[in-house]
Amino acid sequence: MIEWLIDSGHGSTDPINCDPVTPGKRSPVFPDGSAFAGQQLIEGARNRVVVNYLTLLLQEHDISFQLVCDTWKDCSLSSRVEKANQIVKENKDPERSFVYLSVHHNAFKNDWNTANGVSTHVFPGSKKGHEIGKIFQEKIVESTGLRNRGVKENAFFVLRKTICPAVLTENGFMTNLSDASFCMTEEGSKKIAIGHFAAIEEIMNQKIFNKWNV
């Protein structure tokens, strides 16, 4: 059995004053004439929309998961990793495996620009991470129709410090007007979530972890 440790990256918005709780991590203001004129995409908030849709799908299909940050607040990277690692350490059943999944939206600089698409990030040299990452990348691109930027190696904190296989997805650019407009819609967030779910389902069905005896 695989249990998914899910991280909706960054903080959301304060439920009282609606202010974003993480500095930066948002789109430029949508221009006049656009569907979301005057608004901004707040990354942590949209990450949580995607994760909420994803967890509903997981619950419907009895797939085990835990959230490593289940609040609107910006849980520190170390607290997210510590919670995930503690879960892994406390469950030494040889029939049980864990994967850490961190869900994000991307950005390039601060203004609207042409950088666009989906990428999946894995720890350098991680065979397990690469195999899982390729499936996530394929399924998210297939579901969303966004540009395929490929699987990339990065030593991000949550990839470097987790003691189980880990992937981090970047689901469209907040600084690209087309990507950001897609990601601001409920349909867009659902398609991103469906892509993640399709990847999880394929990984579970293939039982690829059996090859690693974990």
Helix (H, G, I), strand (E, B) or coil at 2: strand
Residue 11 vs residue 5, higher pLDDT:
5
d(C-alpha 107, C-alpha 117), whole Å: 10
State how far the Cα of 159 lies from the Cα of 130, in Å rounded to an integer: 12
Domain 2-212 CATH (choose: 3.40.50.1820, 3.40.50.11890, 3.40.630.40, 3.40.640.10): 3.40.630.40
Query: Which 3 state secondary structure label does DSSP give 15?
Result: coil
Q: Note the pLDDT of residue 1.
A: 87
| Tens-place pLDDT, residues 93-122 | 888 899 999 999 999 999 999 999 999 999
Say if residues 80 and 51 touch (Cβ distance below 8 Å).
Answer: no
Kindly list the domain boundaries of the chain, sorted by start residue.
2-212
CA distances (Å), 211 to each of 121, 124, 200, 206, in order? 22, 20, 17, 10
What is the number of other CB atoms lying within 10 angstroms of the CB of residue 38? 9
On the question of pLDDT at 80 being above 50, the answer is yes
- Quote the Cα angle for 76-77-83, to 5°: 90
**pLDDT greater than 50 at residue 214:** no
DSSP 19-84: -BSSSS-BPPPPPTTSTTTT---BHHHHHHHHHHHHHHHHHHTT--EEES--SSS---HHHHHHHH
Alpha-carbon torsion 115, 119, 121, 127, what sign?
Answer: negative
pLDDT in the model for residue 10: 86
State the pLDDT at residue 209: 58
168 residue type, one letter: L
CB 146 within 8 A of CB 172: yes
Query: What does the alpha-carbon distance between residue 69 and residue 206 come to, in Å, rounded to a whole number?
Result: 28
CB 1 within 8 A of CB 15: no
pLDDT per residue as tens digits for the range 166-175: 999 999 999 9
Distance (Å, rounded) from C-alpha 159 to C-alpha 152? 12
Global pTM?
A: 0.94
pLDDT at residue 212 is higher than 60: no
